[in-house]
A = this chain, B = another copy of it.
């Protein structure tokens, strides 16, 4: 039971790890110091995790990474919107 809670907490914290970054970009309307490459690298990596989860038929890997991918895409979209004209 304790280990289930630790596993769920671990999954929740990392799945929604970029939420504070999204909130910060949203509030400051600035993404100058944020690395777009980090967001793109995570997008590709997490997409490959989803494929790997499909291969393993592991719904935990598929589910957790799908949620992660959504938050990364929100972060990436906001980053691109805010960086427009900076490059």
**Residues on A facing B (Cβ under 8 Å):** 3, 6-7, 9-14, 16-21, 23-25, 28, 30-35, 37-38, 41-42, 44-46, 48-49, 51-52, 55
Given contacts A13-B42, A32-B32, contact A20 B6 (CB under 8 A): no
Residues of B within 8 A of A3 (CB): 52, 55
Given contacts A25-B33, A34-B21, A35-B24, contact A6 B45 (CB under 8 A): no
| A55 shortest CB reach to chain B, Å | 5
- Report yes or no: A14 in contact with B52, Cβ–Cβ below 8 A: no
A18: nearest chain-B partner, CB-CB? B38
| A2 shortest CB reach to chain B, Å | 9
